[in-house]
Amino acid sequence: MSLIDRFLNRIIRHGTLELTDHQGRTRSFGTATPGFPDVAIRLADKDVASFIALHPRLGAGEAYMDGRLIIERGDIMQLIQLVRANAPWDKGGDLKPRGPLRKLVKAIGGRIDQINPAGRSQRNVAHHYDLDDRLYDLFLDADKQYSCAYFTDPANSLEQAQDDKKAHIAAKLALRPGLRVLDIGCGWGGMALYLNRVADVDVLGITLSQEQLKVARRRAEEAGVADRVKFELIDYRALTGSFDRIVSVGMFEHVGVPQYETFFRQCRKLLAHDGVMLLHTIGRMGVPGATDAFTTKYIFPGGYIPALSEIVRASEPSRLIATDVETLRLHYAHTLRLWYQRTAEKQAEIEALYDARFFRMWTFYLAGATAAFEHGGMCNYQVQFARSRHALPITRDYMAEAEAQYRSG
């Protein structure tokens, strides 16, 4: 227990954590502080403490999943918030330059799992997105938008915020009736159908998920627009043709750094000379880093969250012009809290679909992600690209005008 005690004494300063070991002995850490949680946990057996200490990247998550770390007061969201809020990314840290060896080790360790040829990419996508569709129905909005929403007011509903996200993105695409749009990583088809509906454009959505493809095609048929909104199961690297606009929402996180230049080179080939592209991705504030072990093993194998420098640097060889960059700092935190709340409310249904261990894994993932956006170094980037400097108006007024129009219906 000494390792755990030393760690908690060092980390927990604000808020309180009560820890009870398998023999019933209790210790407390921290000081009650307004705005910080009060949490109590129990370790179910004599080996949990050493397991967590010896496996710092996975131990706590796996112990929680396996029912060996039990939360007796509060919940997993509050436990993770307590730890992360005591060490916020933007209020400290070592600002000394990283040595070349440390950079090299981190780069190599974080890149091997991101080599994603087409076959491996499809397996990675299936790991997460080919889960039972009923799971996503339980916590997403009705349009099944599985990406950061856009909160014009933090009090807005999830449905309103996701509608506003689609309007925000559509406005940056500078759409006109009849344009041909490519949606890379189209999910269940919501964005493609929205763009067709509000802007009278033709859309091709591509995905590597068999389950998402079936749903997207069914939705297009039901909406009576299957002749104008089409979906294909194809890797972006294998696609040919020319498109006036390209949009990609929540897909770039699965590309992997070794393929970044390939991704942008392919986008340039597919984009018309006067075309416009909008990339919406989870991002990493500060310098490049590495994907955490829990996410890699259980949630998004092969995934990586890019720093802004990595996105821009990879686009430069293709001579794509970054015409607009926006950082969404807290929008995903609001989104994830609503997803977590809905997931917690549907515990019985989710455990019936899978089991209690899966439910704990899923809530650990959502709680950890929320803390990363509230206190860690995560954000969202929306980067607009163009091939020609003349492709867009020279001021951003057109974005606000179009967004107001789309949001007004």
| 342-345, Cβ contacts within 8 angstroms, sequence gap of 24 or more | 342/138, 342/139, 342/158, 343/138, 343/139, 344/75
Beta strand 26-31 pairing with 15-20: antiparallel
Q: Is the pLDDT of residue 233 over 90?
A: yes
Q: Mind spelling out the 3-state secondary structure of 80-149? A: HHHHHHCCCHHHCCCCCCCCHHHHHHHHHHHHHHHCCCHHHHHHHHHHHHCCCHHHHHHHCCCCCCCCCC
Q: How confident is the model at residue 88 (pLDDT cuts 50, 70, 90)?
A: very high
User: Which residues is 28 bridged to in the sheet?
Assistant: 18
| Distance separating alpha carbons of residues 148 and 379, to the nearest angstrom | 10
List the one residue out of 379, 360, 268 whose CA is nearest residue 322: 268
pLDDT tens, residue by residue, 183-232: 999 999 999 999 999 999 999 999 999 999 999 999 999 999 999 999 99
Averaged pLDDT, 136-153: 97
Q: Is the pLDDT of residue 105 over 80?
A: no
Q: Percentage of the chain surpassing pLDDT 90? A: 85
Q: How confident is the model at residue 380 (pLDDT cuts 50, 70, 90)?
A: very high
| Distance separating alpha carbons of residues 319 and 379, to the nearest angstrom | 25
User: Residue 352: which residues within 8 A CB-CB, separation 6 or more?
Assistant: none
| Distance separating alpha carbons of residues 359 and 131, to the nearest angstrom | 13
Q: Is the pLDDT of residue 117 over 70?
A: no
| Distance separating alpha carbons of residues 369 and 385, to the nearest angstrom | 28
| Distance separating alpha carbons of residues 73 and 368, to the nearest angstrom | 18
List the one residue out of 158, 160, 227, 169 whose CA is nearest residue 198: 169
Q: How open is the CA angle 263-184-297, to the nearest 5 degrees? A: 75
DSSP 305: P
Angstrom distances, CA of residue 245 to CA of 169, 204, 253, 393, 402: 12, 11, 20, 15, 16
Query: Three-class SS of residue 184?
Result: strand
Q: Is the pLDDT of residue 138 over 80?
A: yes
Q: Is the pLDDT of residue 124 over 60?
A: no
Sequence length of the chain is 409
Q: Are 380 and 281 in contact (CB under 8 A)?
A: yes
Residue located via tokens 């009090």: 155
Query: Three-class SS of residue 360?
Result: helix
Q: Are 224 and 184 in contact (CB under 8 A)?
A: no
What per-residue confidence (pLDDT) applies to 127?
A: 45
- Least confident range from 50-54, 90-94, 343-347: namely 90-94
pLDDT tens, residue by residue, 330-366: 999 999 999 999 999 999 999 999 999 999 999 999 9
Q: Is the pLDDT of residue 116 over 70?
A: no
Enter the tokens of residue 91. 């209020």
Phi, psi (rounded to 5 degrees) for 112: -60, -45
Q: Percentage of the chain surpassing pLDDT 70? A: 90
What per-residue confidence (pLDDT) applies to 201?
A: 98
Q: How confident is the model at residue 54 (pLDDT cuts 50, 70, 90)?
A: confident
Mean pLDDT of the chain: 92
Q: Are 356 and 67 in contact (CB under 8 A)?
A: yes
Q: Are 307 and 340 in contact (CB under 8 A)?
A: no
Distance of CA 272 to the CA centre of its chain: 29
What per-residue confidence (pLDDT) applies to 53?
A: 87
Averaged pLDDT, 85-99: 74
- Least confident range from 45-59, 197-211, 223-237, 310-324: namely 45-59
- Least confident range from 118-127, 215-224, 235-244: namely 118-127
Averaged pLDDT, 248-268: 97
Query: Three-class SS of residue 18?
Result: strand
What per-residue confidence (pLDDT) applies to 1?
A: 55
Q: Is the pLDDT of residue 122 over 50?
A: yes
Enter the tokens of residue 175. 């759409």
User: Residue 335: which residues within 8 A CB-CB, separation 6 or more?
Assistant: 148, 149, 151, 158, 161
Q: How confident is the model at residue 91 (pLDDT cuts 50, 70, 90)?
A: confident
What per-residue confidence (pLDDT) applies to 133?
A: 85
What per-residue confidence (pLDDT) applies to 237?
A: 97
